[in-house]
Amino acid sequence: PQGIGSPSVYHAVIVIFLEFFAWGLLTAPTLMVLHETFPKHTFLMNGLIQGVKGLLSFLSAPLIGALSDVWGRKSFLLLTVFFTCAPIPLMKISPWWYFAVISVSGVFAVTFSVVFAYVADITQEHERSMAYGLVSATFAASLVTSPAIGAYLGRAYGDSLVVVLATAIALLDICFILVAVPESLPEKMRPASWGAPISWEQADPFASLKKVGQDSIVLLICITVFLSYLPEAGQYSSFFLYLRQIMGFSSESVAAFIAVLGILSIIAQTIVLSLLMRSIGNKNTILLGLGFQILQLAWYGFGSEPWMMWAAGAVAAMSSITFPAVSALVSRSADADQQGVVQGMITGIRGLCNGLGPALYGFIFYIFHVELNELPMPESSAGGSVVAQYHLEQNSIIPGPPFLFGACSVLLALLVALFIPEHTNLNVRSNNWKKHCGSHGHPHSPQAPGEAKEPLLQDTNV
């Protein structure tokens, strides 16, 4: 039996929700275990762990996508969810193995790629944007709710219960895939052997990046994406640790911050984005988003009080309009047979940033000696938290050096984006586009022309 009912978007939505809900529960415990395991170089090790995971995901995502085209989606959904969630029970067993397995799990931590391919198999082209939006909203909803639940349970019953609960939810997700998820490619399944035909050119993670310089407009867009997403990827990997250990946020405050930021980002990417696109145009929306991102990063970098972090978080939600606007600009400017190529470049650059950003942030924290000599004191009985001794011992006037580096990087992105024309047509640039589109035209590729627009938005909601 293949599963319960016929393949649907709701199967994919449940898989995504359970996986990220399980990880969201561990937000607060992971921050404490990380510092207890690496007390001397917390931020550096966090950057290296997340950087290795991101680079491995970037390298493996196209290959796993190509293999799922041959062997089907269900088996690779099972594989990616299993290896992504495998480190969870190790948190209490062995923290060293926990972080080691997290970094190595990047090879298979590409559930989104397989889920988007699954959705593409079962939807028509005109339905795909709404389906991808539902998956992205589910991802955001899981991260909005689960950190607060995990922080509350950890405070009331201990972190061990949180780890057990997260492990149980991960196992539930695996069982759901085994029992309930039907295969979306039953008639196209091939024998699971290495002799089955695989498009190795499609599996090359650098294939899309090699074409960046072939069109001046695409080059400007890709440089803008790289310079703006590099600090964003680094920020997401270390910011909640920064709030917890440097700014003295309690576990509940970190969870509340994630929830508020997620809700505001969803509002910004729906209501505010649509109003801006209609009133000031696509390019100006991108420039406005980059301006908000510069302000947000500078505020994070110089902010030394908790209220400053909350205020900057509201600005960060507004900066989340940048990448949907970039995606809309590219999809509007490129021909249908060029969507996969152009969006594939942008997605590839974002994947590369997911590996480079965390490592860069961790290294900058290390260079500026932003570390702690001891764990923060526990929360007071009044519910507040005692700020870490970092503020008493650190002489630097800049609490968050990497955020200021990020602000400079986004400023360069803003200057580059000024040269992107508001209205352009990428299909008249070069005849080489037609040639390169052929290598991306596999009917069920995660970057096929019809469905390549929305995966760009997969991790920008929170």
Using one digit for the tens of pLDDT, what is the confidence trace for 371-390?
654 444 444 333 344 444 44
User: Are 39 and 152 found together in one domain?
Assistant: yes
Q: What is the pLDDT of residue 456?
A: 37
Number of domains in the chain: 2
What percent of the chain has a predicted confidence (pLDDT) above 70? 75
Q: What DSSP string describes 24-86?
A: HHTHHHHHHHHHHHSSSSHHHHHHHHHHHHHHHHHHHHHHHHHHHHHH-HHHHHHHHHHHHHT
* Whole-angstrom distance, CA of residue 338 vs CA of residue 369: 46
* End-of-domain residue from the set 186, 221, 255: 186
Residue 126 has pLDDT above 70, yes or no: no
Do residues 9 and 96 both lie within one domain?
yes
Rg (CA), the chain: 22
What letter would DSSP give residue 286? H
> Which has more pLDDT, 133 or 430?
133
* Top-confidence range, 9-18, 247-256, 342-351: 9-18
Q: Give the DSSP per-residue string, 151-214.
A: HHHHHHH-HHHHHHHHHHHHHHHHHHHHHTPPPS-GGG---SSTTS---TTTT-TTTTGGGGGG
What would you measure as the largest C-alpha separation in the chain, in angstroms?
A: 69
Print the domain residue range for 215.
210-371+400-421
Mean pLDDT value of segment 190-202: 55
Residue 247 sits in the same domain as residue 177: no
Residue 458 domain-assigned (yes or no): no
Residue 65: name the closest of 348, 455, 446, 451 by CA.
Answer: 446
Question: Could you read off the pLDDT of 388-409 as tens digits, one per residue?
Answer: 444 434 444 566 788 999 999 9
**Does 132 reside within a domain?**
yes
Tell me, yes or no, whether 191 lies in a domain. Answer: no
Q: Quick count: other Cβ atoms within 10 Å of Cβ 190?
A: 14
380 in a structural domain: no
Residue 366: is its pLDDT beyond 70? Answer: yes
User: Is 300 within 8 Å of 309 (Cβ atoms)?
Assistant: yes
Question: Measured in Å, how far apart are the chain's first and last C-alpha atoms?
Answer: 37
Residues 168 and 222 in one domain: no
251 with 154, same domain?
no
pLDDT band at 323 (very low <50, low <70, confident <90, very high): confident
Nearest C-alpha neighbor of 237 from the set 137, 406, 107, 355: 355
pLDDT confidence of 22, banded at 50, 70, 90?
very high
Could you tell me if residue 393 is inside a domain?
Answer: no
Give the pLDDT of residue 393.
Answer: 42
Q: Is residue 100 part of a domain?
A: yes
Q: What is the pLDDT of residue 423?
A: 65
132 and 235 fall within a common domain: no
| pLDDT value at residue 365 | 83
Same domain flag for 4 and 53: yes
Percent over 90 (pLDDT), the chain? 13
In terms of Cα–Cα distance, which of 245, 237, 278 is closest to 387? 245
Closest by CA position to 346, among listed 328, 363, 362, 358: 328
Same domain, 15 and 150: yes
Q: The CATH number of the domain where 109 resides is what? A: 1.20.1250.20
Asked if the structure places residue 451 within a domain, the reply is no
Most confident of 238-247, 328-337, 449-458: 238-247
16: alpha, beta or left, given left = phi > 0 and alpha = psi -120 to 50?
A: alpha
Distance CA 452, CA 172 (A): 30
Q: What was the pLDDT predicted at 128?
A: 65
- For residues 96 and 133, membership in a common domain is answered with yes
Q: Is the pLDDT of residue 370 over 50?
A: yes
Q: What is the DSSP letter of 380?
A: P
What's the pLDDT at 424? Answer: 58
Q: What is the spatial distance between Cα 232 and Cα 223, in angstroms, rounded to a whole number?
A: 14
Please state, rounded to an integer, the average pLDDT across all residues of the chain. 76
Average pLDDT over residues 197-210: 70
Q: Quick one: 276 and 348 in the same domain? A: yes
